[in-house]
Amino acid sequence: MYTFPFLSEEHTMLQDAAREFAQKEIAPVAEKFDHSGEFPIKNVRKMGELGFMGIEVPEDYGGVGMDTLAYVLVMEEISKADASHGTIVSVNNSLYNKGIMIFGTDEQVREWVTPVATGQAIGAYSLTEPMSGSDAGNMASRAVLNDAGTHYIINGIKSWVTSAPYADRIILFTMTEPEKRHRGITAFLIDTSQAGFSRGKTEPKLGIRASATSEIIFDNYECPVECVLGQPGEGFKIAMAVLDQGRIGIASQALGIAQAALDASVAYAKEREAFGQKIGQFQMIQHKLAEMKTRVEASRLLVYQAAYEAVLAKKSGARITLPASMAKLYASETAMYVTTEAVQIHGGMGYSKEMPLERYFRDAKITQIYEGTSEIQRMVIARQLTELR
């Protein structure tokens, strides 16, 4: 791997710490958790203790006070060992913590971010509903301000909420003024221990099986007005801006999966023999490895560029929509391409559960779907170019 000039000693130290933890504590149990679909709660707590759940959160608020580059380095290392662990780290750091840090008040950051950044609590982000996925603004759930003006009463069902079965805190997006369409959506901070909140069906998934995903149900949940994130009606923009951050996380998760599949393929090509020679000496395998390596490194550059733009945007407030969507699109398409080729290079062993290749292949697929499908990323990128949004 190359050393990038903008990575400081602190960055590489954190990267080394993440790699060591991932290879020692995550990689050996990844297959077991994938098989059982159990949530790796012990490792989640340990990652919290190591600071991996509050990478960009200032030390005063319980985090390690580093930047988005540090975050993507950790994400790649964790996801190389297991994408399910990567999903949990990503949602806590970018969708939950970052969302509140950008749009919350100082009090909200202290109360809602610190427990997640220190690993004592688990965060989630809830936008999708059974009838609205890509068309995120078209939601049926509702929040109505009570007559006293003290609480919003929330009702409705949200779906595909990552970490929801274990989440203590959730950023929720729901409709407060339906006639205003996307301008009538508000973001709320939800405490899952309160009455009126419950969990619905858990999703049985193809990949990232150890990351828990479920519906959440609001039945007259009373949310104090102090728990509105940002201003009423600003929810859609908050959701989109936070997804810009989240998409960098998913891009680095995809990069980690692809790197793991590439590393395994190179090792196998040097070791496995067919027709009297190592398969890595065959031109058809060489062609595959060359394509895989080039796409992985191109993904890495896009991921680092997007992370760097996020670092700059912290001061300038600029939108990072374009670099984030390009990184997510390219890295997730690469993860699918590379893991498909990796299974092919391994032949029968690639298809067997005795090796992790089939898990990489199943895990890669979600990166093309969640936090905006590849089709949505292409739409976002093209709109940035043509409509100056």
At its nearest, how many Å lie between ligand CAA and the CB of residue 33? 19
SS3 330: helix
Q: What's 92's DSSP letter?
A: I
For residue 389 the two structure tokens come to 């949004």
Q: Which of 10, 111, 371, 387 is catalytic?
A: 371
Of the ranges 115-123, 129-137, 142-150, 296-304, which one interacts with ligand CAA (CB under 6 A)? 129-137
Closer of 109 and 185 to ligand CAA (Cβ) = 185
At its nearest, how many Å lie between ligand CAA and the CB of residue 335? 16
SS3 36: helix
CA distances to 68, 136, 173, 310, 313 from 317, rounded to whole Å, are 14, 23, 22, 9, 5
Residue 96 makes contact with ligand CAA by CB under 6 A: no
Closer of 159 and 334 to ligand CAA (Cβ) = 159
**Binding residue for ligand CAA (CB under 6 A) from 244, 333, 341, 358?**
244
Closer of 71 and 370 to ligand CAA (Cβ) = 370
Contact 360, 342 (CB under 8 A): yes
Contacts of 5 by beta carbon, 8 Å cutoff, 6+ apart: none
Residue type, 338: V
Contact 23, 66 (CB under 8 A): no
Residue 293 makes contact with ligand CAA by CB under 6 A: no
Per-residue contact string for residues 333-372; x = within reach of ligand CAA by CB under 6 A = -------------------------------------xxx
At its nearest, how many Å lie between ligand CAA and the CB of residue 349? 32
Closer of 45 and 182 to ligand CAA (Cβ) = 182
Residue 134 makes contact with ligand CAA by CB under 6 A: yes
Residue 376 makes contact with ligand CAA by CB under 6 A: yes
Q: Please indicate whether residue 371 is annotated as part of the active site.
A: yes
CA 170 – CA 215 distance, rounded (Å) = 12
Residue 115 makes contact with ligand CAA by CB under 6 A: no
Residue spans of alpha helices (H) in the chain: 9-21, 27-36, 41-49, 68-81, 83-90, 99-103, 106-108, 114-117, 235-271, 283-316, 321-346, 348-351, 357-367, 374-386
At its nearest, how many Å lie between ligand CAA and the CB of residue 109? 20
Q: For 160, phi and psi rounded to 5 degrees? A: 55, 45
Q: Which of residues 311-330 bind ligand CAA (CB under 6 A)?
A: 319, 321
Residue 91 makes contact with ligand CAA by CB under 6 A: yes
CA 179 – CA 88 distance, rounded (Å) = 35
Closer of 267 and 312 to ligand CAA (Cβ) = 312
**Binding residue for ligand CAA (CB under 6 A) from 96, 103, 125, 221?**
125
Say how many residues touch ligand CAA, by CB under 6 A.
Answer: 26
CA distances to 94, 131, 209 from 168, rounded to whole Å, are 16, 25, 20
Residue 235 makes contact with ligand CAA by CB under 6 A: no
Q: What residues does 216 pair with on adjacent strands?
A: 158, 199
Positions marked active-site: 371
The residues that touch ligand CAA, with contacts defined as CB under 6 A, are 91, 125, 127-128, 134, 136-137, 160-162, 182-183, 236-237, 240-241, 243-244, 319, 321, 370-372, 376, 380, 389
